[in-house]
Amino acid sequence: MIYLRTIPDPNERRAKAVSTVKFFHTVSYACFGIAAIVFAIALNDLATDFGVMGLELTGCGTILRAVSRDIQLEGV
């Protein structure tokens, strides 16, 4: 995690926040995409294990979005 408050230059702080948020958004979208695929497998095969994995991946994507939102607010 980047601790942005110690960076004195506001432009550098904003640039680091933007790049970190873009990375977290990419990873969270990947989690949501994989979760959709896993849910499709679970629905097709009626496999509850895949359904649970899909729920976990959805939660992972949601947590990453919340962390990226916190970084956005801290970077301002």
User: Cα separation of 67 and 1, whole Å?
Assistant: 9
pLDDT (tens digit per residue) in 7-27: 778 788 778 878 878 888 888
Q: Which secondary-structure segment (H or E) carries 61?
A: helix 48-74
Residue identified by tokens 């990419």 is: 26
Q: Could you give the maximum distance between any two Cα atoms of the chain, in Å? A: 54
- Above 80 in pLDDT, residue 60? no
Verdict on whether the full-model pTM lies above 0.85: no
DSSP secondary structure code for residue 6 in this structure: G
